[in-house]
Structure 1
């Protein structure tokens, strides 16, 4: 029987609070994780459930990787703000381009560049939420609140729900985002939908779903908790990140949710003044379109970190923190990933084990945990747009026995389900 590891407040394992405990009721253990479990992934390959411990993972990370340097963290904040300022300054010359097609291409490049720079600020605010920015909690929360509010992200609300995601990654009934449907739930929903019967297995339907997910998924998650855990006894309008009494949060979070909402209101006022002073077109090009694409990058990144044809999900009796954190994958995104997105794509597995390690130490720490994880470390160098399509087609629901469920689909990708 393997042990359960207690995790920190941000959903990571830490040296100071790692324990191994076995809770018992009478002579019966309250959990019974099995060792040596296997499952069959979407492609028909054997998946071996990991049995290493959190202690082994933590011992493999060099101690200096835990160091959070305030000056280094602020350097990246000011660097990203400087890049945004430079991009906006260059954009002021675009109206001088006489050719309408070249001018349109220049605006498109401007919007794209601002979107990846805004995403960089998003990632740094994410670091603050995990307390990976510095040793000072008030600094982390102040910087994170400002940066996230600029992008209309409710900082504390996201911090708390995201922390729960880290505490229960890969857990079918406790994880907080991109929770897959079981086979039974998927088929039940499909059979109730005439559209599903007619064309849900068509590639065009997958394309429609992916476009909707990429452009609207983040907003729907904030407002309706889409892809999160269901709360059947709570009205849908209550299941969002802006209502302090939402079931997503604990009672102690109430006033911090209010503070998050105040940050959103303050930014809406900034945008109103921006529009009044600079005009609709300026706001549309320099903030709104980059904001929409920033939301896309966020969904693009997180979906592919947690959705892959080889990735498991666990029922409660077989889930452990170590197994859940291993149910993530590192990918590569060229120059953009390390420079603009601060390695959030390339070192995500490590991030789920110890989220308080700052991103600038994450590569070295990742090399350490790879030695422990061995074949259980997940990495893909495949083009991420190709991976997006594959995951969209193949990762429709999960199915399996022994408490370990793997992705399946009705599209005949991989071993499929045999049911149409």
Structure 2
């Protein structure tokens, strides 16, 4: 059942907040959901490495007309790299922190993504999911915020939304956030500097080597195009996980963590090959209930949540152009009282 904004308000009135806590939800999950399995974790990493290697071999051997297929396969496999690093960032890949940090850094290297920068910002998103004032992952823009911007920034944002450029969103987030030390607390900056240094050294070696051996076209062919595919999936997963016309973002003073994690996270079904290469990251509701659940246990946890807490979860959806069109046509600006509105609706009311 879809939980609309009005229904959320009724739920908050009908059910005592103390009865809907993350602890209550977690206690209903099978204990197996939280058990780390070394064999599963490392075999998924090994399979991912093998498939991405095959993807690069396909890029090297494919005639020009098959290159898009090779790029899509390889870029999707690289998204699986990110999901493995994602488990590492939540300490659910291995029991030892240094193993998580090492594997996380290694699997993010081809993506030029600073591991600790992402980990710290991403944990903030989990702490304040669908909090209109504090969430930092695809938080919607209110009309008041939009009106406070300058004309150029408004035009850029409007063009981004209307022209369905959601797939560039994670590139902007990556570039503007994860290399900027000013966006991190002083206590975190040493780790952020370490991760930035690691990817900078990798880029300083890998990019000139690619150019020297296969030329500028080789850099585009072997790195840039798969990297863009990775960002397409990164942007799409993030966007769809928390965006729908009836998804509620709540002001900080009214925000309730358990309701937000259950009803503000969308389960979207993707083609099976995408789900396999990306380690079921689309099964996202349980991940927002507890980040301690490894990716290979997400489906088990989701089945339990649906049985016990299905009243509060959003309807499942299937990835399609129709879905993306619905979101990108409707979810432009956000008013806490009424929800999302399109730019056409916003302009009609002015």
Secondary structure in structure 1 of the residue aligned to 2:187 = helix
Please, which runs of 5 or more residues in structure 2 have no aligned partner? none
Q: Which residue of 260, 263, 268 corresponds with 2:195?
A: 260
Q: Which residue of 29, 33, 37 corresponds with 1:69?
A: 37
Q: Which residue of 391, 407, 416 corresponds with 2:327?
A: 391
Secondary structure in structure 1 of the residue aligned to 2:339 = strand
* Matched residue, 1:230: none
Q: 1:207 to 1:90 in 2, by over 3 A?
A: same
Q: Is the 8 A contact 2:270 2:318 kept in 1?
A: no
Q: Distance in 2 between matches of 1:89 and 1:223?
A: 29
Match runs of 1:186-205 below 5 Å: 186-187=146-147, 189=149, 193=151
Deviates more, 1:126-135 or 1:45-54: 45-54
* Matched residue, 1:13: none
TM-score normalised over the length of structure 1: 0.74
Q: Which residue of 327, 330, 353 corresponds with 2:289?
A: 353
* Matched residue, 1:366: 302
Structure with greater helix percent: 2
Q: Which has the higher contact order (CA 8 A, sep 6+)?
A: 2
Q: Distance in 2 between matches of 1:343 and 1:419?
A: 41
Q: Distance in 2 between matches of 1:149 and 1:92?
A: 20
* Matched residue, 2:105: 145
Q: Which residue of 259, 264, 268 corresponds with 1:331?
A: 268
Deviations 1:198-245 (A, max 9, x none): xx6xxx87452x22x313x22321333xxxxxxxxxxxxxxx32233x
Q: 1:155 to 1:195 in 2, by over 3 A?
A: closer
1:124 equivalenced with 2:84 (yes/no): yes
1:133 equivalenced with 2:93 (yes/no): yes
Q: Which residue of 317, 335, 342 corresponds with 1:409?
A: 342
Q: Note the C-alpha offset of 1:277.
A: 2.6
* Matched residue, 1:232: none
Deviations 1:13-47 (A, max 9, x none): xxxxxxxxxxxxxxxxxxxxxxxx9834xxxx887
Q: 1:61 to 1:292 in 2, by over 3 A?
A: same
Q: Note the C-alpha offset of 1:56.
A: 2.2
Please, which runs of 5 or more residues in structure 1 have no aligned partner? 1-36, 95-102, 225-239
Q: Is the 8 A contact 1:343 1:359 kept in 2?
A: yes
TM-score normalised over the length of structure 2: 0.88
Give the greater-gyration-radius structure (CA): 1
* Matched residue, 2:175: 223
| Alignment RMSD | 2.6
* Matched residue, 1:291: 227
Q: Note the C-alpha offset of 1:291.
A: 0.5
Structure with greater strand percent: 1
Q: Note the C-alpha offset of 1:335.
A: 1.2
Q: 1:89 to 1:194 in 2, by over 3 A?
A: closer
Q: 1:82 to 1:371 in 2, by over 3 A?
A: same
Q: Is the 8 A contact 1:331 1:384 kept in 2?
A: no
Secondary structure in structure 2 of the residue aligned to 1:314 = coil
Secondary structure in structure 2 of the residue aligned to 1:398 = strand
Secondary structure in structure 2 of the residue aligned to 1:407 = strand
Q: Which residue of 278, 282, 305 corresponds with 1:341?
A: 278
Number of matched residues?
Answer: 339
* Matched residue, 2:167: 214
Match runs of 1:11-30 below 5 Å: none
Q: 1:48 to 1:295 in 2, by over 3 A?
A: farther
* Matched residue, 2:5: 39
